[in-house]
Structure 1
């Protein structure tokens, strides 16, 4: 596994990380035994960047990683997030970027993770009612205290990223980025990251599993899988997106790789660190193999032809969730 600088603030991480959210919530029934085995296997194969958030559960996913890393905390680059207010009994309240909340949330995350520091601490969503300068100022204090090593923001506009970075240098911005979702190439975000030396961490690099080629019908999802309500998996959107996936599968077959490996190799070619989520070792191993895939300029051109910007049908989230995105 290749390791490289994530951003320009000194953080070194594996070129591919592991998104841990689905081990606990949103993607059907949890299996703690297999999830812990998946984390074990990831570390064994050289993955260091493990991604979670206090809102995943809430708290449950952080606690799972705390158990997974017991006795070997320094083997991982541990990333978690705050900014979605949660009461101590697990009730979601809404966005909260107030300094007093992010400080309290970090202390709770440290307890759940069983550690005294977080390597990368993100503001999960931008609170429109709190100036970003105030929130990042509070996060900077946590860095000064040694409880946080590096800072990041998620789903932020180029303007917000610049304002945040001016208060304290950001190491990473996490946002959705894949063959299906290429908005940051056109809204100024990718340009800002390159100009400021901020790393890009791509979540949902497989289009929430669509680009794996394994999903052929909305009925493939469990009853409690949130993708049943995702606009891109509904009606005509599903059919149009499946047509794109068929073309991705065709190109992957020519290159003797799986559709997942092609999609991940494309994200890696763009300079991003992908954090595909999985709770099963077999998918983890398939995903990690993408780090060994080299795409030629001809391959990239073929992918660009079938999956240009705007090819995906349907919004990224349901309307009530779209309102939480900055810009």
Structure 2
């Protein structure tokens, strides 16, 4: 059985598997939740292959994905690195973001309980709260590290400016961003900032939410948020599928699948990809991408095959909570934690 190698994530001494496992789709957003027994078996198989990095969040379910991951790691806690996130809250049927100290602490305690562990290896702020200075949020996260409840701190969908402000309060180990052949705007500012500061990159949706592994709009089940995703709507998809078809041809030349090529590209860029799957076949295919070597010419050919300026549709229906349109207020605006 092939073993996934370890790589450093950031410059804080944290070493993780070169590819992680995104667990969200097992419980939420991609259709009905999958049976616990099957997903626990899949997580165990991933760990047997050498995948140590398991990614979840308190909003997945909400809460049910953390409970699932907690069950799955019983007896193998020392073999995995748990990454979870906080900040999203559902109030009165609407999704909001909270980064005040009280919420940071309460969310962490909730995650520890659901995961049934004493410490979270990597704890992310899932989205920046535009009402709370990031220094305040990360200041509370720093306390959690000092108390031994969290080992390392991360951010997700944060702008370069917010990353710098956060890193000045406590070293940021990793930034999780959407990064794939059709989501490359992070190369402008975010990735260079992280490289400068010694922060690791975790790439979520490295397969374009399944697009580069051949997911078709006709395959989405009820409850799968991709049914309304801008890039998968009928008209946009008809335009976008030509990029997938180009990857199929390039994959045939390399004797691999288009999905493996897409993952190999992300991994050659120095990011740790966390593709999600609920099927053993896909898990093994994803891991196989680590064996694919790409020359600089092949990397350019892949990028030319998916010219990002020609991709139709935004990467979210609502872009307001992404790094491009959401930022932390200045520290001197903070008047207390009552929101």
TM-score range, shorter chain: over 0.9
1:16 aligns with 2:19: yes
1:41 aligns with 2:45: yes
Whole-angstrom CA distance in 2 between matches of 1:158 and 1:67? 36
Residues 227 and 137 of structure 1: CA distance in aligned 2, closer, same or farther (over 3 Å): same
Secondary structure, counterpart of 1:310 in structure 2: helix
Shift of 1:198: 0.2
Secondary structure, counterpart of 1:171 in structure 2: strand
Secondary structure, counterpart of 2:308 in structure 1: coil
Shift of 1:323: 1.1
1:7 aligns with 2:10: yes
Shift of 1:93: 5.5
Could you state the TM-score of these two structures normalised by the residue count of structure 1?
0.95
1:323 aligns with 2:320: yes
Aligned residues: 320
Unaligned runs of 5+ in 2: 325-339
Could you state the TM-score of these two structures normalised by the residue count of structure 2?
0.92
Secondary structure, counterpart of 1:304 in structure 2: helix
- Equivalent residue in structure 2 for 1:67, among 65, 71, 94: 71
Contact 1:180 1:311 in 2 (8 A): no
Whole-angstrom CA distance in 2 between matches of 1:100 and 1:224? 32
Shift of 1:85: 2.5
Whole-angstrom CA distance in 1 between matches of 2:310 and 2:158? 22
Shift of 1:94: 1.5
1:226 aligns with 2:228: no
1:304 aligns with 2:303: yes
Shift of 1:308: 3.0
Match of 1:85 in 2: 89
Alignment of 1:170-209 (within 5 A): 170-186=172-188, 188-209=189-210
Whole-angstrom CA distance in 2 between matches of 1:15 and 1:298? 23
Contact 1:252 1:262 in 2 (8 A): yes
How large is the RMSD of aligned CA atoms in angstroms? 1.3
